[in-house]
Amino acid sequence: MSKLFTPIKIKNLDLKNRIVMAPMCQFSADEKGFVQNWHFIHYSSRAIGGVGLILLEATAVDPNGRIMVGDLGIWDDQHIAGLKSIVDECKKYGAKIGIQLFHAGRKCTAPEKESVAPSPIAFSEKYAVPHELTKEEIKEIVVAFRLAAKRSLGAGFDTIEIHGAHGYLIHQFLSPLSNLRKDEYGGSAENRVRFLREILEAVREVWDKRKALLLRVSAEDYAEGGNTSEDTAYLINLVKEYEIDLVNVSSGAIVPAEINVYPGYQITFSEIIRDLTGLPTIAGGLITSPLMAEEILCNQRGDLIFIGRDLLRNPYWPLYAAKALDVEMEWPNQYRGARL
């Protein structure tokens, strides 16, 4: 049996295969963050295509936490119904589905308010200098994550992924390149991880402990003085007691940087974090070949594989992968004629 198509269970998250649809921003919500028909079709087609775990795009816990207008929102109870419609449809086809909760911090370009960050440092000259969050404002954002997790439960999501990567607010606290605070939220690793710890603690107050909780990280900052994979593993170890069940390993985007991108360029980061934390990982980064995905899993370089661009090009990538690996998998009845 192919490892890619071997089921895996993490708490009560029971996946039929190891294929994960990476969270990918669609920027197709309305100006108030509501689900549109595009989202319904986009996600349900990947469920029909056989993806084991679908992770919804970055969904903002606050209107001031969007990357831009067009991001999905979960800062209002009224968002629940639209999100639930996606969840219910995807589950009809045997997929599990999670939501990625995030706050863009200094990368927010939505027009509501000025952007915020741990320190008043712009991402680049193209971005505004953000407002430095007060301790009271930090607490308010932690509450926003807790309320978003409660709404996620109401919408029926199987899992939550906390977005601590790609230069967004949690990552801004974690990285010494963007966090120059002198209080208990800055300086040492133990202080820089405090914001994430408080979010995890708040989310676990409302998120069923039987349900898996994911964390996405940027393992490497790709800049002198930034976090390395070993640093990121250390930060995860400081908070994994809050029942982080799976780490989604990505990299970069805390500062503009030259990144040598090639097929599998992030897999070593997954190996390091998996080894140093003892936690299962989702590995990926320009993975297009089913054979490459199989190698990563069989050599214990990751426990699941996230697929991004290839699932944009081909919603039925799992069906193609099964054929390439000579695996018998359940096809939609309407497509069974293509199995030959």
Residues 118-159 have pLDDT tens digits of 999 999 999 999 999 999 999 999 999 999 999 999 999 999
Predicted confidence (pLDDT) per residue in 155-203, tens digit: 999 999 999 999 999 999 999 999 999 999 999 999 999 999 999 999 9
Predicted confidence (pLDDT) per residue in 264-315, tens digit: 999 999 999 999 999 999 999 999 999 999 999 999 999 999 999 999 999 9
Catalytic residues: 163, 166, 168
- 340 band by pLDDT with thresholds 50, 70 and 90: low
What confidence score (pLDDT) does residue 112 get? 67
Radius of gyration of the chain (CA): 19
What confidence score (pLDDT) does residue 336 get? 82
What confidence score (pLDDT) does residue 330 get? 84
**Contact in structure between 239 and 199 (CB atoms under 8 Å):** no
- Torsion region of 115: left, alpha or beta (phi above 0 gives left; psi -120 to 50 gives alpha): beta
- 329 band by pLDDT with thresholds 50, 70 and 90: confident
Q: What is the CATH number that goes with domain 19-326? A: 3.20.20.70
DSSP β-ladder status, 213-218 and 246-250:
parallel
Predicted confidence (pLDDT) per residue in 109-122, tens digit: 886 678 999 999 99
Predicted confidence (pLDDT) per residue in 212-246, tens digit: 999 999 999 999 999 999 999 999 999 999 999 99
What confidence score (pLDDT) does residue 266 get? 98
Distance between CA atoms of 97 and 309, rounded to whole angstroms? 18
Distance between CA atoms of 286 and 297, rounded to whole angstroms? 15
Which 8-state DSSP code applies to residue 129? P
Question: For residue 161, what are its two tokens?
Answer: 């992924």
